[in-house]
């Protein structure tokens, strides 16, 4: 999940555009990680040194690793270690953006270093999926810390993003959240959480994006029909909220329940309460997740 938030970071900082990021997310499955990007990520080489090796390679018929050793930038053991590194998702995203020309090696070096230092994360965090670190990352990214229910927002949003990766796909980027009271989106499904506390959860999107989202969740069972889109998108929300309710019950002893799903089409959705609207950019378009705790 760090990869998705790294994408969001690049976007929020204006380092890449939405279009470049969507294209990179789509293409990263075909990307092979190069030694130079791995060496920059490990802090073994600077972007300038990588560029030097790349330029030298144009006149010398040698592999990147061998040349980097010849030029004194790496030791032979460093090359062996780097070749054994598992390509993590955020590095593949960075490499794809470099390949596309959307980032230079130097841009990538600056971005990955500032991302790591801003969030106080290290390579183990980025390669892993530790829930506590993910919750902190989500809290920081969306500024939930300023709300009264920061823990509930952070826990819910973390589970939501995990569910997106599990059921919809990992080709998305979370965008900056905003506070809203209503939305004009053409299609939406809402489910409330009741019990020990009350909460509102909504998925809202344009007609085409809503269908694409529904299709991703339904997979082979998909039927192109607006009613089916509601059923599928609604079931995603229901499953996600159900998992959240089970976590609350098992981990905190808090008992909550869910209301039946409520769908809106082509009408203004008035919520009446201030909610966090979290837009998520998928390769097929943008989907909005609206939550209030």
Partner 1 sequence: MKLEDMSVLVCDDSMFARKSLCMFISSLGVKNIYEAADGQEAVDKYKENKPDAVFMDIVMPVITGIDALTKIVEFDPGAKVIMASSVGTQNHLKAAIKAGAADFLQKPISNDQVKQTLENIAKGVI
Positions in the binding site for partner 1 (CB under 8 A): 167, 217-218, 221, 223, 227-228, 231-232, 234-235, 238-239, 241-243, 245-246, 248-250, 253, 255-261
195: region left, alpha or beta (phi > 0 left; psi from -120 to 50 alpha): left
Distance spanning both ends of the chain, measured CA to CA: 23
Give me the residue label for tokens 């994360």.
121
Decide whether 26 or 170 has the Cβ nearer to partner 1.
170
Decide whether 147 or 211 has the Cβ nearer to partner 1.
211
Give me the residue label for tokens 């998928």.
282
Decide whether 113 or 194 has the Cβ nearer to partner 1.
194
Decide whether 136 or 229 has the Cβ nearer to partner 1.
229
Give the Cα separation of 63 and 287 in Å (integer). 43
Dihedral angle over CA of 210, 211, 216, 218, nearest 10 = 120
Q: 2 is written with which tokens?
A: 């760090």
Whole-Å CA distances, 2 to 88, 183, 207? 10, 29, 29
Minimum CB–partner distance for residue 18 and partner 1 (Å): 30
Minimum CB–partner distance for residue 222 and partner 1 (Å): 9
Minimum CB–partner distance for residue 285 and partner 1 (Å): 20
Decide whether 89 or 229 has the Cβ nearer to partner 1.
229
Minimum CB–partner distance for residue 212 and partner 1 (Å): 15
Minimum CB–partner distance for residue 164 and partner 1 (Å): 14
Give the Cα separation of 258 and 245 in Å (integer). 8
Instruction: Give every CB contact of residue 260 below 8 A, 6+ residues apart in sequence.
Output: 191
């Amino acid at each position: 999940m760090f990869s998705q938030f790294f994408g969001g970071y690049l976007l929020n900082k204006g380092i890449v555009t939405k279009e470049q990021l969507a294209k990179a997310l789509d293409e990263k499955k075909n990307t092979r990680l190069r030694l130079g990007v791995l060496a920059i990520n490990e802090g073994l080489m600077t972007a300038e040194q990588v560029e030097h090796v790349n330029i030298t390679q144009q006149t010398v018929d040698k592999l990147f690793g061998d040349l980097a050793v010849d030029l004194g930038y790496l030791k032979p053991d460093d090359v062996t270690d780097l070749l054994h590194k598992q390509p993590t998702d955020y590095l593949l995203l960075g490499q794809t953006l470099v390949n596309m020309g959307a980032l230079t090696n130097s841009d990538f070096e600056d971005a990955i270093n500032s991302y790591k230092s801003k969030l106080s994360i290290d390579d183990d965090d980025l390669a892993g999926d530790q829930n506590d670190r993910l919750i902190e990352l989500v809290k920081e990214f969306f500024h939930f810390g300023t709300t009264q229910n920061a823990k509930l927002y952070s826990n819910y949003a973390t589970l939501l993003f995990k569910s997106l990766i599990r059921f919809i796909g990992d080709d998305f980027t979370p965008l900056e959240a905003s506070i809203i009271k209503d939305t004009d989106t053409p299609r939406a499904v809402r489910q409330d959480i009741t019990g020990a506390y009350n909460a509102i959860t909504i998925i809202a999107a344009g007609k085409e994006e809503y269908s694409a989202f529904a299709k991703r969740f339904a997979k082979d069972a998909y039927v192109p029909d607006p009613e089916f889109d509601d059923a599928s998108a609604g079931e995603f929300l229901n499953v996600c909220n159900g998992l959240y309710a089970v976590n609350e019950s098992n981990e905190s002893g808090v008992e909550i329940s869910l209301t039946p799903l409520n769908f809106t089409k082509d009408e203004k959705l008035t919520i009446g309460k201030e909610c966090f609207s979290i837009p998520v950019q998928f390769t097929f378009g943008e989907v909005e997740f609206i939550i209030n705790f």
